[in-house]
Structure formats: structure tokens, C-alpha cells
Amino acid sequence: MTEKKVKNPQTCPGLKDFLRPTPSYVKCHICKSDVEIWTDEDSAICDNCGAEWKKPDQNASCLSYCEYANKCKEIINARNT
């Protein structure tokens, strides 16, 4: 029986969203234009009207609750310096 290897056993699976962010688009609550928000951001500004759009709490970053958050924060900070 072979053991399945885990790529980053010391970190959570959500780390990839911070190391390799990807964009998504939401509708502005004011003007209904598309607002680009990246996976590593908590909020974005609408280019059309200037309104701020914030991610709902249910989509809060895993860094706020994951047991490996401190380790992931160290990895993120090391890559950003």
C-alpha cells in the first residue's frame, strides 16, 4: 500500500490563493458595473463609481480561522519581502 503525499502538510490548502492570486468579478452594489477582486484581497474599489466592495464574512480569508494560519502568514511575508 502506497502513501499519498501531501504537498504542503504544514500549511492549509488555501495558501495557493495568496501565493498565486486569481481575479474574480462581482457586481457593484451602487452602479452594477463589474468590480475586479483578487483572491488575496478583502475589498476592492469600483472603477466606475468609486464605491468600495467588501467580501462577505462567510468568505473570510482562511487566515482568520485556520489552524495553520501563522505558518502560512510566515510563508506569505517571506515571499513579499
Number of compact structural domains in the chain: 1
Is residue 46 within 8 Å of residue 28, measured between CB atoms?
A: yes
The answer to whether residue 2 sits within a structural domain is no
Q: What is the pLDDT of residue 4?
A: 47
The Cα-based distances of 73 to 34, 36, 38, 58, 76 in angstroms read 30, 24, 17, 20, 5
pLDDT at 57 over 70: no
Computed over its alpha carbons, how large is the radius of gyration of the chain?
16
- Cα–Cα dist 58/47, whole Å: 25
Range of the domain at 54: 13-80
The answer to whether residue 74 sits within a structural domain is yes
Q: Please, which pLDDT band fits residue 80 given cuts at 50, 70 and 90?
A: low
Burial of 25 (0-12, 13-18, 19+ CB in 10 A): exposed
For residue 13, the tally of other CB atoms under 10 A from its CB is: 12
Tell me the pLDDT tens digit for each residue of 15-44.
777 778 889 899 999 999 999 998 888 889
